[in-house]
Amino acid sequence: MTPIVAPSLLSANFANLERDLQMVNDSDADWLHVDVMDGVFVPNISLGFPVIKAVKKIIKKPMDVHLMIVNPDPYIKEFVDAGAFSISVHIETCTHLHRTVQAIRHAGAKAGVAINPHTPVSFLHDIISDIDLVCMMSVNPGFGGQQFIENTYHKITALKELINHRHSKALIEIDGGVDLNNFQKLIKTGADVLVAGNTVFTSKDPKETISILKGNRVEA
């Protein structure tokens, strides 16, 4: 199948943000992946509502918002109002995960659950039928440009089996270390959505790189 490609805003050039967003608009990208970090759950701080609202004025692609924050519930509606098409929360931070997923749906967004590299796929057993997306971290969350964790392939296989067993329609999103050397294997293993940050934004031709990840062009 043709994957969904979601360039990661975290790796864009914030000194030329409008230029990079227009590049995404003009590319074969499907979504824009937006990482929100609080400096508590992960050792970094990133985008807040003013930036996301400004991005929404320019970007034409759906915004896939990934909340790497503790206690996301009070902010869900505000993220949807700011333009989020989908919201993924971390299973490691949500005490009442079903309630959080219901709140995302009620606010009008697609509901996703993110899992860290050390979190077993089996933890998703009781929620997988209620969500639209699993954001599988293939690096330790918090920073872009990290090395891909090879065990991710085994986790994709296990997650695909769980999705089929539970008759879920959840998409498998891979976030971290996706590049031109591993994207084809990720798709073959079962990935539906590829989040690509440095691979896209440090490329000499970002639009061409996005097209390659989509399978629309062959790498030279």
* pTM for this entry: 0.95
Let me know if residue 219 belongs to a domain: no
Let me know if residue 90 belongs to a domain: yes
Over residues 45-90, the pLDDT tens digits come to 888 899 999 999 999 999 999 999 999 999 999 999 999 999 999 9
Give the whole-number percent of the chain exceeding pLDDT 70. Answer: 96
pLDDT given at position 84: 97
- Among 209, 153, 199, residue whose Cα is nearest residue 177: 199
Over residues 200-212, the pLDDT tens digits come to 999 999 999 999 9
Residue 68 contacts residue 40 (beta carbons within 8 Å) = no
Over residues 128-172, the pLDDT tens digits come to 999 999 999 999 876 666 789 999 999 999 999 999 999 999 999
Let me know if residue 25 belongs to a domain: yes
Let me know if residue 55 belongs to a domain: yes
Mean predicted confidence (pLDDT) in 13-35: 97
Write out the residue range of the structural domain in which residue 118 sits.
4-214
Let me know if residue 220 belongs to a domain: no
Let me know if residue 52 belongs to a domain: yes
Q: Which of 35, 38, 132, 192 is catalytic?
A: 35
Count CB atoms within 10 A of the CB of residue 61: 18
pLDDT given at position 147: 86
CA distance 220 to 218: 6
Question: What CATH number has the domain bearing residue 124?
Answer: 3.20.20.70
H/E stretch holding 113 reads strand 110-115
Give the whole-number percent of the chain exceeding pLDDT 90. Answer: 90
Mean predicted confidence (pLDDT) in 12-16: 95
Let me know if residue 33 belongs to a domain: yes
pLDDT given at position 141: 78
Q: Is 175 among the catalytic positions?
A: yes
pLDDT given at position 43: 84
pLDDT given at position 144: 64
Q: Which of 20, 30, 64, 175 is catalytic?
A: 175
Paired with 215 in beta bridges are none
H, E, C per residue of 85-98: EEEEEECCCCCCHH
- 220 has a pLDDT exceeding 60: no
| Number of domains composing the chain | 1
- Round the average pLDDT of the chain to a whole number and report it: 95
Residue 79 contacts residue 53 (beta carbons within 8 Å) = no
Let me know if residue 107 belongs to a domain: yes
Over residues 26-53, the pLDDT tens digits come to 999 999 999 999 999 988 888 889 999 9
